[in-house]
Amino acid sequence: MQEESQRQLHTLEKIVAGVALLAVLLLTVGFAHAQTHRVFLRSNAVLVEDVHSGKTILAKNSDEVMPIASITKLMSAMVLLDSGVDMNERVVVSRQDIDHLKGTHSRLRPGTVLTRSQLLLLALMASENRAAFALARTYPGGTTAFVAAMNAKAHALGMDDTHYAGPTGLNPKNVSSPRDLARLVKAATQYPLIREYTTRERARVEARGRMLSYHNTNRLIRNRHWDIDLSKTGYISEAGRCLVMQVKVESRELIMVLLDSWGRYSRFGDANRIRKWLERSSVLADSRG
């Protein structure tokens, strides 16, 4: 009889502990979602997360699965670097690298010869699709093996909402959620070359005897008010305007995910509104505990 009472008491204690944990989680999520009413945002899905604690600071449709456009290229970069291929090896851009899905323009004409490192720089900094196609095509096993490695990497990172159908993001079947993309950003930040290339302001490469100039697709990189450790933009019509970053605000390292924003500059406007709101509010101090 006494053993049965003890078992019942133990079960009751576990239930109480579980309810308490659920209440804390609901309060945290509820707080983060409540903050979106204090910040006017044009992005349809948003997540701001503390890098070290993992706490959600701001959330809006943060579990919604949607196309992610060129945010894809962060995963492509990790897969390429994980493979150990020679980054100084010269790669010839081919007609196979031309975008026949969306018809995007590229100044890298077939026959252009660049190193893998140069191609990765252009793919990350300037979101050059033909460069990303060339890197996937020349990966050991080709593009099919490359995309399989992307999906395997996503699975290993616990990105259960994520699926890749191509290396560039032009395919709208490349989908993820803001929470998964926060995991992606956190993982990509562990690669010094990805951090360097995604935050470089501009670059010049020689292609078929001509010097080509490129600039970073994230206009905030050139803004002295921002301290950005990693950045990637994306756009296709199905995904809207997208932006992910790891940044420092008020001495805190944060991940920002902004997806499906309307208007050419609205994702940057949202990022600025979020930063200013964080700077003038006590939300970061309140989230430390």
Chain Cα centroid distance, residue 177: 10
As a whole number of angstroms, the distance between CA 289 and CA 286 comes to: 7
163 DSSP 8-state letter: B
Active site residue 70: yes
Neighbouring residues of 217: CB distance < 8 A, sequence distance ≥ 6: 125, 126, 127, 233
As a whole number of angstroms, the distance between CA 150 and CA 43 comes to: 26
C-alpha separations of 58 from 39, 69, 115, 141, 187 in Å: 10, 22, 40, 41, 20
Closest-CA residue to 41 (of 279, 282, 259):
259
Backbone angles phi, psi at 45, to 5 degrees: -140, 130
As a whole number of angstroms, the distance between CA 209 and CA 131 comes to: 18
From first to last of its 289 residues, the chain has per-residue pLDDT tens of 455 555 554 555 555 444 444 333 343 444 455 455 578 899 999 999 999 999 999 999 999 999 999 999 999 999 999 999 999 999 999 999 999 999 999 999 999 999 999 999 999 999 999 999 999 999 999 999 999 999 999 999 999 999 999 999 999 999 999 999 999 999 999 999 999 999 999 999 999 999 999 999 999 999 999 999 999 999 999 999 999 999 999 999 999 999 999 888 999 999 999 999 999 886 666 655 5
Written as one string, the DSSP assignment of 231-289 is EEEEEETTTEEEEEEEEEETTEEEEEEEEEE-STTHHHHHHHHHHHHHHHSSHHHHT--
Residues belonging to the chain: 289
Kindly report the number of other CB atoms within 10 A of residue 38's CB atom: 10
Place of tokens 């951090």: 195
Active site residue 102: no
Written as one string, the DSSP assignment of 125-148 is HS--HHHHHHHHHTSTTHHHHHHH
Task: Single out the catalytic residue among 127, 176, 231, 261.
Answer: 127
87 DSSP 8-state letter: T
Structure tokens, 2: 């006494």
10 Å CB burial of residue 5 (0-12, 13-18, 19+) is exposed
Active site residue 261: no
Backbone angles phi, psi at 158, to 5 degrees: 75, 25
As a whole number of angstroms, the distance between CA 175 and CA 274 comes to: 24
Domains in the chain, CATH or no CATH each: 39-286 (3.40.710.10)
Task: Single out the catalytic residue among 43, 60, 62, 73.
Answer: 73
pTM of the model: 0.87
